[in-house]
Structure 1
Amino acid sequence: MNLAQFPRRGYVKEATPIEAVPAFSKALGGKVNIFIKRDDLLPGCAGGNKTRKLDFCIADALDKGADTIITCGAVQSNHCRLTLSWAVKEGLDCHLVLEERVKGTYSPEASGNNFLFQLMGVKSITVVPGGSDMMGEMEKLAATLAGQGKKPYIVPGGASNTIGATGYVSCAQETLEQLFAMGLNIDHMVVPSGSAGTHAGVVTGMVGCNSGIPVSGINVSRTKDVQEEIVHKLAEETAERVGVKGGIPREAVECFDSYVGPGYSLPTESMVEAVKLLASTEGILLDPVYSGKAMAGLVDLVRKGHFAEGSNVLFLHTGGSPALYAYLDTFRG
């Protein structure tokens, strides 16, 4: 793979740390050694994994002469926060389309990412009901803005297309280089699986580098069968883009859907436990929607003996801690 052929903006200046979390591992019985890839420390307003994807997506937008970015997400979207932050940095207008996936949950006065949208000067926020055709809604807004003389560029939800997923192919390469330098052999990698770009990119990179490291996704919304098909399709398309010969084996994509709970963004007891446990043992913050539920999955898999005793397991921390402040009642309760 020659990723240097693809334009990017250079938002990722250096590798994010891979940290051992021994106190957390001990709290889970000490039979598995857990490490965390700290993509929550990536640049961009309050950090998070979407910076890797936007590095490539914003470059594509600028190459196409865009002066305006449109993207979408849920009402507390970390992706929308980071897209807005990089648009601000680049001097681009940014318009957000927010999907109220749980009716009645959007409030312009809310804390968390909603507050940051306003603080960074978002040009407009359009709120649509759950289940809306989000690409269709963004295309309508793009047509309106084009009629006003703007040059809009649509970044899909989560920046989860082949352009964005290339950022996580790069992350897989970066991770393998770090592990070699550290002399650390990882037996398994666990990632949050939502809009699919992060999961698909990591799988593509790990397969493309012949790493032999299995990657498991912890779902935050969809069922196992649906999510695996979405991730595999995007991984195949990304592999074709970056030049992975032979494609992506279907068995390389594995998802667990037992930790979603009542629905996307809705709290679960296991998520609350995982967030509190990592914070109280290692001083690392998760978010309640993605990394919190993904870590809840990892915790449960460790307790069930899914990983062999003595295994080294790497968790990808995708960030999102600003959303914690919109869930104060959940954690204080």
Structure 2
Amino acid sequence: MSRPTPLEPAPRLARAVGLEPGDLWVKRDDLIGLGGGGNKVRKLEWTAGAARAEGATTLVTSGAAQSNHARLTAAAGARLGMDVVLVLAGAPSEGMTGNIALDGLFGARVVWAGEVGEAELEAVVAAVAEELRGRGARPVVIPFGGSSVLGAQGYVEAGRELLEQAPDLSTVVVALGSGGTMAGLVHSLGAERVLGVHCGAVADPEQTVSHLVGGLIGGLVVGGPAGGGPAGAPLRLRLDQVGPGYSALTEPVMDALTTAARTEGVVLDPIYTGRALAGLIAAVRDGQVRPGRRTVFLHTGGLPGLFGHAETLARARSAVADTAVRWPRI
């Protein structure tokens, strides 16, 4: 993938959220080329790369039905010439759009695990991997969301890349899903400069990120820690944007999606980046993020997931219907 990903000014969005025009910048990890882009590619460079080095023939991973990580694992497998099996929570439906359609396009096989929790999903993944071994395949399991100490190394590197682009960085705001992206950034930037917005993907976001940061600090990656988590300042977390649950669309998130689109032409998704921007807006409102300081919003991708989220699409279509006219009226 090309490096570094762009760091773009967002002056109109800055004004809209209560910052000064020069304060807010967007780190465009959505523009990473593989499989539609997104933060999971940086993790897969390490996890899928290690699997290939081990002689694996098949990548097995898990996620929600509209998992960005699953989609990008399928793309990575296609690039590497490896089979991919995706174990997804839920059941097949008529509207298998968004990331699910791309999973099929990339050639992945999908195993539907039903409505299960984290532990049950992991058990299905283990059973699938064992069945594949029985058939003579050499599977390697990529963890949920790609978030392991190894995968988090991708965002240790990204944090260093960001510091080269913005040495005066005060705060980077990031969606907190399975935890690896935030953990890598905390390792390289320090906890005081990373604000994670919980998206509801894991039951205990603080413990999840702290565990990964602890692994990084324990010397499993190159370079010493910058602080944060178990060995440094407390993690900065916002837990106020989950709403009724992981897949639910809330008004603050819909407002964030609309604001980003109409000020900067930037498209976010309703599960991760939309929540992250809603968290940033709330953080400015309550003084956690202040004007006059460099703030970076990490765009972690996820656009295909928007097209798999029926409520968000319905809201977007209604906005078109409300303003549409037939020529020659205007």
Distance 1:258 1:302 in 2: 14
Is the 8 Å Cα contact of residues 269 and 303 (structure 2) preserved in structure 1?
Answer: yes
- Tell me the SS of whatever aligns to 2:89: strand
Number of residue-to-residue matches in the alignment: 309
1:272 aligns with 2:261: no
Residues 87-106 of structure 1 aligned to structure 2 (within 5 Å)? 87-100=77-90, 106=92
Match of 1:78 in 2: 68
**What per-residue deviation string (whole Å, max 9, x for no partner) do you get for residues 305-327 of structure 1?**
32233122111111001111122
Match of 1:114 in 2: 100
Match of 1:9 in 2: none
Residues 145-160 of structure 1 aligned to structure 2 (within 5 Å)? 145-160=132-147
Residue of structure 2 aligned with 1:162, choices 149, 168, 183:
149
Amino acid at match of 1:260: V
Match of 2:8 in 1: 19
Distance 2:14 2:188 in 1: 27
Residue of structure 1 aligned with 2:185, choices 199, 202, 213:
202
Query: How many angstroms does 1:108 deviate by?
Result: 5.5
**What per-residue deviation string (whole Å, max 9, x for no partner) do you get for residues 164-195 of structure 1?**
00000000111111224xxxx22111111110
Match of 2:321 in 1: none
Q: CA 1:278 to 1:156, structure 2 compared with 1: closer, same or farther past 3 Å? A: same
Name the % identity. Answer: 37
Q: CA 1:157 to 1:229, structure 2 compared with 1: closer, same or farther past 3 Å? A: same
Match of 1:123 in 2: 109
Query: How many angstroms does 1:54 deviate by?
Result: 0.1
Match of 2:198 in 1: 219
Amino acid at match of 1:277: T
Match of 1:60 in 2: 50
- Tell me the SS of whatever aligns to 2:55: coil
Query: How many angstroms does 1:123 deviate by?
Result: 2.5
**What per-residue deviation string (whole Å, max 9, x for no partner) do you get for residues 274-313 of structure 1?**
0111011111111111111111110121123322331221
Once structures 1 and 2 are overlaid, which stretch shifts more, 248-257 or 319-328? Answer: 248-257
- Tell me the SS of whatever aligns to 1:288: coil
Match of 2:212 in 1: 234
Distance 2:225 2:307 in 1: 44
Distance 2:259 2:227 in 1: 39
Amino acid at match of 1:170: E
**What per-residue deviation string (whole Å, max 9, x for no partner) do you get for residues 88-109 of structure 1?**
1111000000113xxx7x5264
1:140 aligns with 2:133: no
Match of 1:331 in 2: 316
Query: How many angstroms does 1:120 deviate by?
Result: 1.6
Distance 1:257 1:117 in 2: 30
Q: CA 1:245 to 1:273, structure 2 compared with 1: closer, same or farther past 3 Å? A: closer
Match of 1:4 in 2: none
Query: How many angstroms does 1:245 deviate by?
Result: 5.6
Residues 164-179 of structure 1 aligned to structure 2 (within 5 Å)? 164-179=151-166
Task: Let me know the Cα RMSD of the aligned residues.
Answer: 2.0
Distance 2:85 2:110 in 1: 5
Distance 2:63 2:94 in 1: 15
Distance 1:161 1:292 in 2: 24
Amino acid at match of 2:11: P
Is the 8 Å Cα contact of residues 223 and 257 (structure 1) preserved in structure 2?
Answer: no
Match of 1:3 in 2: none
Query: How many angstroms does 1:127 deviate by?
Result: 2.9
In structure 2, list runs of 5 or more residues that go unmatched: 319-330
In structure 1, list runs of 5 or more residues that go unmatched: 1-11
